[in-house]
Structure 1
Amino acid sequence: MAAAEEHDYEALPETTPLYTHLLAGALAGISEHSIMYPFDFIKTRMQIINPNPQAVYHGITHAIQSIRTTEGAQAMWRGISSMVVGAGPAHALYFATYEHCKEMFGGNIGDEHHFLATGAAGACATVTSDALMNPFDVVKQRMQVHGSTFRSVLACTAHVLRTEGIAAFYVSYPTTLVMNVPFQSVQFPTYEYFRKVLNPSGAYDPVTHIISGGLAGSIAAAVTTPLDVAKTLLQTRGYATDADIRNASGLRAAFRIIYQRNGVAGFFRGMQPRVLAHMPSTAICWTTYEYFKWIIGAQEAERISELESDIRTTARTTADL
């Protein structure tokens, strides 16, 4: 395994097939979202404007106590099936696109901090993966709303299609991009920066990935919270009794409604659970992804080493003859 241990897993061999990035990304995405799902559930509840009186929460602790008392602890996992179904393929596409674009933009050259290259690669990854994930995210949030009667992804999907049409699955897509492109453009360079600062050697180090991922996720989540509030309004508008909210058609309308109803403070509703969710979830995502890159890279390097050894042995045998 000596050759495998010396292999730089950060840049997998060119012979590495695409499915390795896809598999590592899918496992990372499912792990990230599944473990921290209850915080995402609470964040959605806290961001909804004019909620049911029973769903008015004064902080995370109060939200957990209220949900457990009135709906049962299992309610905080409602909608997770939609997330799991969508997160696997969406994150597979996400990381594969990121790795390809980072290489293409020169983000793997030398030991420098390539902020523009990694930021641009993160933006490209977001555009492609969100196009796939957005409908699943809409269904997930519809199932998270207080009083939701949907108990399956198919039932919720069929209802939205029947009552609002297919456009409802993408009404928040522009807003999602406006939020996630800055989020990923902040998260990826921040992660790469801290990873290189904390671990200049580039050797596989889970602690470095955990710390770097946590810092990157929390910073990016905090600065993009206003956009996330607007996205939640658009994705849950079908449950609103307020005609103004039900007819909101884009980011500008969402911002106007949020400011009219809650002022500047309304743009930061749910920031605490959002940051608390993204900090560990991003750490989990990057740590899982880097782990599988390391495993795959080591196996690929060992395979190449054995192949080169066989070629040298064959060459010596031929020369002796």
Structure 2
Amino acid sequence: MNMVEQKNTLPQHEAEHGYEELPETSPLTMHLIAGAAAGIMEHTVMYPFDNIKTRMQIVSSSSSQTMYTSVTHAFRLISTTEGARSLWRGVMSVVLGAGPAHAIYFAAYEQAKKMLGGTSDPSHLHPLAAGAAGGIATIISDALLNPFDVVKQRMQISGAYYKNIVNCAVKILQREGPRAFYVSYPTTLTMNIPFQSIQFGSYEVFRKTLNPSGQYSPLTHVVSGGIAGAIASAITTPIDCAKTLLQTRGLSTEKEIRSANSMVTAFRIIYRRQGIAGFFRGVAPRTIANMPATAISWTTYEYFKWQISQGNEAVN
């Protein structure tokens, strides 16, 4: 049976919208639940690599700063000197923030893609609509996630000993004020809007190319999500370096870094101290983390959508 014949044998309910585009009668909570599950899975499974990425991106002229030469070197050094548990320090901030942020993120993405015509014909590619929808969803979700991300990165740094994420958040608020939680927000958007636009657009292309029938295919979601995540993370690493500097500036003993308040300032500091290579510090662990993390996120999200559509079909 060829792809066309297979598609024509689908039940009418599935032929009209399929699991990929849930029916308009589906409540918003369905996208919220699927998005929350995807976000938590994405950020927690590969968390140690995110921890290493943050440490490799720290900018300091101090001779006491640990220099990691590779991902394996970082894993070995951190595990032997601080214990393996330190690789997971700050993960609860991600769990608390990623759930609601990604719930809003995927719900906004689905609504925006629908408004932009990205669901008008499921058999055709809509990379521009998917990319634009991803950008819109990013603006909304990052406003919620940014403070949690600041806490996460502060706790990831070696020597930044906070009792827990609440203690960390309170100390940041007391010492630096509420602005510290959002000083990196413009930079985060500058990074995440192209990141998510590239990721969503690439995912749409690879998913439709590898699986033109639109059938539920976990392997397609894993491969498409992994490739899309790798491409997007590698391209946006320079901006991520600037974001890390801004989000961890409060722990620096250097006045220049502590006073950094914009992406442009962060870029100048990085370039002056580390040159062009400084903008790609952490690119390996970031790509290693994002490739499976994005694959996990999309696979989890698509699985929940498929389960929801199966439930709808059973009711009908």
Relative to the length of structure 1, the TM-score reads 0.92
| Alpha-carbon distance in structure 2 between the residues aligned to 1:280 and 1:253 | 32
Q: What CA RMSD, in Å, does the superposition of the two structures yield over aligned residues? A: 1.4
Does the 8 Å contact 1:4/1:297 carry over to 2?
no
Matched positions, count: 304
Q: CA deviation at 1:89?
A: 0.1
Match of 1:14 among 24, 27, 30: 24
| Alpha-carbon distance in structure 1 between the residues aligned to 2:64 and 2:120 | 55
Identity, % of aligned pairs? 60
Relative to the length of structure 2, the TM-score reads 0.94
- For residues 66-77 of structure 1, the aligned pairs below 5 Å read 66-77=77-88
Q: CA deviation at 1:242?
A: 1.3
Provide, for residues 77-123 of structure 1, a one-character-per-residue CA deviation record: whole Å limited to 9, x for no partner.
Answer: 00001010000000000000000000000001222222221111000
Provide, for residues 134-184 of structure 1, a one-character-per-residue CA deviation record: whole Å limited to 9, x for no partner.
Answer: 000000000001101113111001000000000000000000000000001
Q: CA deviation at 1:267?
A: 0.2
| Alpha-carbon distance in structure 1 between the residues aligned to 2:156 and 2:34 | 28
Match of 2:100 among 84, 89, 93: 89
Match of 2:300 among 263, 270, 288: 288
Does the 8 Å contact 1:3/1:301 carry over to 2?
no
The one-letter code of the counterpart of 2:301 is Y
- The structure number with the bigger radius of gyration is 1
Residue 39 (structure 1) aligned with residue 28 (structure 2): no
1:205 is matched with which residue?
217
Residue 193 (structure 1) aligned with residue 241 (structure 2): no
1:260 is matched with which residue?
272
Provide, for residues 214-247 of structure 1, a one-character-per-residue CA deviation record: whole Å limited to 9, x for no partner.
Answer: 0000000000000000000000000111110000
- For residues 1-321 of structure 1, the aligned pairs below 5 Å read 8-50=18-60, 53=64, 55-110=66-121, 111-303=123-315, 305=316
| Alpha-carbon distance in structure 2 between the residues aligned to 1:147 and 1:121 | 40
The one-letter code of the counterpart of 1:94 is Y
Q: Which runs of 4+ in 1 moved over 4 A?
A: 2-7
| Alpha-carbon distance in structure 2 between the residues aligned to 1:185 and 1:13 | 24
Does the 8 Å contact 1:130/1:173 carry over to 2?
yes
Q: Helix, strand or coil: the match of 1:55? A: coil
